[in-house]
């Protein structure tokens, strides 16, 4: 029984699990936890905790049946897969100095994961590493991962950071738990099937330290009953900081698992039995001891604001890497135009800018006598033409509009639009590349929508530099300027998706992506700025920028997988448009961020700035970016000479 429903939200975080003890009777285990309580799955040991391979060999000559919790036939494959997460025996210690224990641990780990794989479980929970030495544990897990099917391994990590905000630090947790995770996953070469189940404690690290985990591959958060407080009615509740954390977990599709013994004596009635289980055996079942905790988690989920309509539309694009458009080399398809044209906010901003430009260009007393020549360069299927004409109508200014478009297929649509709207006397359609068109007159206002996610990455500077020859010396360009921004991010999923291609070229490509499961480690900083019109003789569009990012000290160590890129544009006057997070235009969806990956992620310690270098390089036939990190460690130079990624002129 999911925690609740929010419009459009189909994320895994709607499902809540419970950690249980070993039970030979798995069907009854499911009935007592899923039926009477309404949990969606159990995190259950698969093997009797008293089992030790060395003892079995002595007693039975190694031939006895392993003490698993029943055969695979006691549940259907769908029930095993949907309702059970295997919990690997917590006693195992693969780095123990006791050789017998170490060998027993290795044997048991492999046996249990092999059994879980046989059952088609979706995931297994690995116990947290014991002590500060876990190289052999990581080695064995890495070996297992090489031959594993699609099952995920969740490594249990206590959510501990040694700082002023976290006083609940025990002797075996003297290091930042992120360091433990980072060392373990590095030994496993960032394997995509190795994930995290964070153990949430009664006190929490700083908000910045918590934020790191949202860029990591966290699949579950285990909340012990020890985390809960008691409200005035005797019900369990969480502190404000824990509530904020759990909201963040829900928003990042991280499932909650409840664990421990009940500390509150609150009784609730039975919940509906999940489909596929035998209801008859649950008749008269008493309420689950953790039901009141589940009710509280469900309450927190259900009181969250519903996802905005635009977020619901973009759910399928979250953390999905897309190649940027090649607007000059390729002609856009009708569906692509249609997607962009649905962004009303963008065209409202353009119309506002054109209104201001028209008023500044022509005084009110001359409105009926002066005709403003306005050119839309890169007119597409006509949305900017419509915005311009609406601005003219709003201001009472007379317009003569040229719609310049190189895509012959879009020109067909433009002609139909002009005829349908009766614009023949106002709009002239030019089927030509703006850089090569020989205009019969010069424009008062030049309007374009050539901006990419990084501002200049769809060659707006080159196109507008080529088009400005038919703009009057005192003419207006909309946009008038734009600036790109970058910031370092932790993005484990994006990194693994790029790494899956197993080549250098994909690590040297910039991707358009709806960023979601990322941790933004430092505020964005400006990179390249372009201004239009650009009357500088022999001006170059090549750029170079060196930036230093400071990671807040209370964040702790973090891994930089790459850089998120954004833009902010001034259309005209005080009318702006952009996706840089601190100034982003609300409810606009035409652009996602851009992602510049690093071939080898950079580990950053508190107080060590991230120094990054970015180049925008130009040749007669292409434009490309190069980037590298020089501090706190040196990365290779990415995309040298545009060998992997470039935009064609």
Q: Which residues are catalytic?
A: 449, 458
Instruction: Write out the two tokens for 160.
Output: 């501990």
Tokens 């690997």 appear where?
A: 88
Could you give the C-alpha distances from 268 to 17, 262, 285, 360, 533, in angstroms and in order?
Answer: 18, 13, 11, 69, 70
Q: Is the dihedral of CA 364, 366, 368, 373 positive or negative?
A: negative
Can you list the alpha helix ranges (DSSP code H) found in 253-400?
291-302, 309-313, 334-341, 344-361, 383-395
Tell me the DSSP string of 463-529.
HHHHHGGGEEEEEEEES-EEEEEEEEEE-HHHHHHHHTT-SSGGGG--EEEB--S-EE-S--EEEEE
Distance of CA 445 to the CA centre of its chain: 39
d(CA 566, CA 454): 5
If DSSP codes are grouped into helix, strand and coil, which group holds residue 597? strand
- Element containing residue 370 per DSSP (H, E): none
The backbone region for 70, taken as left when phi is positive above 0, alpha when psi lies in -120 to 50, beta otherwise, is left
Q: Is 434 annotated as a binding residue?
A: yes
Contact 164, 133 (CB under 8 A): no
Q: Is 40 annotated as a binding residue?
A: no
Instruction: Write out the two tokens for 280.
Output: 């008859």
- Residue 345: CB atoms within 10 Å: 15
d(CA 392, CA 395): 5
- Element containing residue 366 per DSSP (H, E): none
* Strand 236-237 to 229-230 pairing: antiparallel
Q: Is 433 annotated as a binding residue?
A: yes
N- to C-terminal Cα separation, the chain: 55
Contact 405, 431 (CB under 8 A): yes
Q: Is 405 annotated as a binding residue?
A: yes
- Residue 14: CB atoms within 10 Å: 19
Q: Is 337 annotated as a binding residue?
A: yes
- Element containing residue 142 per DSSP (H, E): helix 135-146
Could you give the C-alpha distances from 71 to 65, 66, 276, 556, 636, in angstroms and in order?
Answer: 11, 10, 18, 46, 52
DSSP letter at 31 equals I
Q: Is the dihedral of CA 150, 156, 162, 163 positive or negative?
A: positive
Instruction: Write out the two tokens for 447.
Output: 């309007």
Contact 229, 292 (CB under 8 A): no
Bridge partners (DSSP) of residue 525 are 486
- Residue 527: CB atoms within 10 Å: 25
If DSSP codes are grouped into helix, strand and coil, which group holds residue 86? strand
Contacts of 539 (CB under 8 A, 6+ apart): 465
Q: E-strand spans in 225-302?
A: 229-230, 236-237, 255-259
If DSSP codes are grouped into helix, strand and coil, which group holds residue 95? coil
Q: Is 346 annotated as a binding residue?
A: yes
d(CA 318, CA 309): 15
Write a three-state SS string for 45-57.
Answer: ECECCCCCHHHHH
**Residues in the annotated binding site for S-adenosyl-L-methionine:** 337, 346-347, 405, 433-434
**Residues in the annotated binding site:** 337, 346-347, 405, 433-434
């Amino acid at each position: 029984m999911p925690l609740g429903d929010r419009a459009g939200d189909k994320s895994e975080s709607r499902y809540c699990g419970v950690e249980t003890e070993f039970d030979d009777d798995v069907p009854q285990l499911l009935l007592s936890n899923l039926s009477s309580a309404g949990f969606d799955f159990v995190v259950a040991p698969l093997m009797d905790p008293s089992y030790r391979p060395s003892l079995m060999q002595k007693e039975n000559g190694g031939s006895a049946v392993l003490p698993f919790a029943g055969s695979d036939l006691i549940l259907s494959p769908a029930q095993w897969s949907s309702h059970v997460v295997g919990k690997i025996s917590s006693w195992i210690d693969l780095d123990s100095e006791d050789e017998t224990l170490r060998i027993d641990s290795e044997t048991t780990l492999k046996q249990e994961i092999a059994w879980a794989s046989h059952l088609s479980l979706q995931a297994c929970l690995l116990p947290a590493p014991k002590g500060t030495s876990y190289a052999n544990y990581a080695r064995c897990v890495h070996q297992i991962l090489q031959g594993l099917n699609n099952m995920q391994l969740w490594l249990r990590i206590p959510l501990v950071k040694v700082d002023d905000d976290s006083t609940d630090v025990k002797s075996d947790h003297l290091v930042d738990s992120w360091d433990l995770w980072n060392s373990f996953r590095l030994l496993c070469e960032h394997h995509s099937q190795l994930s995290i189940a964070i153990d949430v404690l009664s006190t929490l690290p700083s908000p910045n330290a918590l934020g790191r985990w949202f860029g990591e591959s966290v699949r579950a958060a285990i909340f012990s009953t020890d985390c809960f407080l008691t409200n005035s009615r005797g019900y369990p509740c969480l502190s404000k900081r824990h509530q904020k954390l759990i909201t963040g977990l829900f928003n990042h599709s991280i499932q909650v698992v409840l664990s421990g013994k009940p500390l509150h004596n609150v009784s609730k009635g039975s919940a509906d039995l999940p489909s596929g289980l035998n209801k008859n055996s649950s008749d008269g079942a008493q309420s689950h001891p953790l039901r009141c905790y589940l009710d509280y988690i469900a309450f927190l989920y259900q009181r969250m604001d519903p996802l905005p309509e635009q977020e619901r539309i973009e759910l399928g694009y979250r953390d999905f890497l897309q190649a940027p458009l090649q607007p000059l080399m390729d002609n856009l398809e009708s569906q692509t135009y249609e997607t962009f044209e649905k962004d009303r906010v963008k065209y409202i901003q353009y119309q506002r800018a054109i209104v201001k430009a028209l008023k500044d260009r022509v005084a009110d007393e001359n409105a009926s006598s002066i005709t403003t020549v306005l050119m839309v360069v890169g007119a597409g299927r006509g949305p900017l033409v419509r915005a311009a004409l609406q601005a003219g109508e709003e201001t009472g200014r007379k317009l003569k509009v040229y719609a310049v478009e190189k895509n012959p297929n879009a020109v067909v649509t433009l002609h139909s639009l002009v005829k349908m709207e009766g614009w023949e006397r106002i709009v002239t359609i030019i089927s030509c590349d703006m850089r090569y068109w020989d205009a019969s007159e010069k424009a008062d206002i030049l309007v374009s929508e050539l901006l990419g996610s990084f501002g200049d990455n769809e060659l707006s500077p080159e196109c507008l530099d080529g088009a400005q020859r038919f703009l009057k010396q005192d003419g207006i360009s909309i946009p008038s300027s734009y600036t790109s921004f970058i910031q370092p991010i932790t993005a484990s999923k994006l990194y693994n998706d790029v790494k899956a291609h197993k080549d250098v070229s994909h690590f040297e490509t910039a991707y358009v992506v709806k960023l979601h499961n990322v941790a933004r480690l430092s505020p964005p900083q400006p990179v390249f700025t372009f201004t239009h019109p650009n009357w500088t003789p022999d001006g170059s569009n090549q750029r170079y920028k060196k930036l230093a990012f400071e990671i807040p000290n209370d964040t702790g160590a973090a891994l930089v997988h790459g850089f998120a890129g954004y833009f902010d544009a001034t259309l005209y006057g005080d009318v702006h448009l952009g996706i840089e997070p601190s100034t982003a235009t609300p409810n606009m969806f035409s652009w996602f961020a851009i992602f510049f990956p690093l071939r080898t992620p950079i580990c950053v310690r508190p107080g060590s700035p991230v120094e990054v270098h970015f180049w925008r390089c130009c040749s007669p036939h292409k434009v490309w970016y190069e980037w590298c990190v020089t501090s706190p460690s040196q990365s290779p130079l990415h995309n040298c000479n545009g060998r992997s990624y470039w935009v064609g002129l």
